[in-house]
Amino acid sequence: MTQIARISDTGNERRLQAERLVGAEALQEAQALRFNVFSGEFNAKLKGAELGLDMDDYDVHCAHIGVRDLNTGHLVATTRLLDRTAASSLGKFYSEEEFSLHGLVHLKGPILEIGRTCVDPAYRNGGTIAVLWGELADVLNQGDYSYLMGCASIPMQDGGIQAHAIMQRLRERYLCTEHLRAEPKKPLPVLDIPSNVIAEMP
Distance CA 105, CA 180 (A): 9
Q: What is the pLDDT of residue 122?
A: 94
Tens digit of pLDDT at every position of the chain (202 positions): 466 778 776 667 889 999 999 999 999 999 999 999 998 887 778 888 889 999 999 999 999 999 999 999 999 999 999 999 999 999 999 999 999 999 998 899 999 999 999 999 999 988 999 999 999 999 999 999 999 999 988 888 888 899 999 988 988 998 888 888 899 999 888 888 888 888 888 7
Q: Give the N- to C-terminal CA distance of the chain in Å, as an integer.
A: 30
Q: What is the pLDDT of residue 1?
A: 46
The pairs formed by 186-189 with CB atoms below 8 angstroms and a separation of 24 or more are 186/98, 188/160, 188/163, 188/164, 189/160
Strand partners, 68: 17, 75
Beta strand ranges found along the chain (DSSP E): 4-8, 13-21, 63-69, 75-83, 99-100, 111-119, 147-150, 183-184
> Which of 104, 15, 25 shows the shortest CA–CA distance to 64?
25
> Which of 146, 180, 148, 2 shows the shortest CA–CA distance to 82?
148
Q: What is the pLDDT of residue 3?
A: 67
Domains observed in the chain: 4-150 (3.40.630.30), 157-202 (no CATH)
Q: What is the pLDDT of residue 150?
A: 95
